[in-house]
Amino acid sequence: MGKSEKRKTKNASQATTSPAIKTNHEALQASNNLATENLHDYVKTDLQVDAISDEFMLCEEEFPSLLDTPCKSPAAKQRKTNQSEIADVLSQLGALSQLINTRSDSLEKIIGENTRAITNMKEVINENTKQITSVKEAIEFMSEEVNCLKTKCGAVESKMGKMEQTTSEQERRLAHLESYSRRWNLRIYGVPEKEREDVRLQVIQLCQRLLPEDRDKLPNTIDIAHRLGRKQPNKTRGVIVQFASRFYRDAVWRAAKESTFLRENGLKISEDLSPADKERRNKLWPAVEKARQNNKRAYFIGGRAFVEGIEIFPPA
């Protein structure tokens, strides 16, 4: 007999015995109820406890035994498929495959375009790199040229500085020589101007009036005398006189300062000053004038000024 047949017979026996057990249990319960009605309360409680325990025991007898666990799990139910479902799945797979192919083609196209764009960018970058390299070389060359020019400019500036110093020194020396050479000259203003005049003879006669004791020596002392500038109508030009002897020139100059003959005839004799000496005198004149107002001995020698024998200098 197999295991399934044993289970069937066991279940049938349990089904036949269960009504008899139920009738016995009901009779026992009725007798217990009748007995307990005639007893005291404390006895009733003990009897109720015993009845409950007997009832639990009967329940244990009524509870069926567990079935034997099968060795293998039951086979899964297989789903029945039909041709329409298969066709639907195949059509969906075809559509999905077509979509994948379409997307793949578009991706390949985009990749190709990006590849060409990257290639073009590489070419542009290479071209820009070449141009940058050429510009860098040009800048380096220009930088070298600029450095070379800076070196040359530095040398030229150094030479220019030396030349400026030399030029300033030469200008100073030329001004000094010009001022010194003019110390042999005097200027005379107010001598009447005539046609075909002998200016040198007129100057000799004028100087003889100033230095009558040396009238015989003055013709040999006066070297050159001539008018200044171009002839102008209604205007008398001054005369510049160059002496061969500094001694007689200074003697005529001293005599002219206190000569009444010059004042009476409207004549004036002055030194022949260079532009630098004139400018220096103009700067020193306020100090000389102030010293003379204070009754101090102030005078000029060329472009230099002295107060009480002490040389003064123009303000800085």
* pLDDT above 50 (res 232): yes
Residue 18 has what pLDDT? 45
Strand partners, 268: 189
Q: How does residue 95 score in pLDDT terms, banded at 50, 70 and 90?
A: confident
Chain segment 120-131, per-residue pLDDT in tens: 999 999 999 999
Helix ranges (DSSP H) in the chain? 3-37, 41-62, 83-181, 199-210, 218-221, 246-257, 260-264, 275-293
* pLDDT above 80 (res 258): yes
Of all residues in the chain, what percent carry a pLDDT higher than 70? 74
Q: Between β-strands 222-227 and 298-301, what pairing exists: parallel, antiparallel or unpaired?
A: unpaired
For residue 219, what are the CA distances in angstroms to 230, 243, 252, 278? 26, 10, 13, 30
Model pTM score: 0.50
- Is residue 226 within 8 A of residue 239, CB to CB? The reply is yes
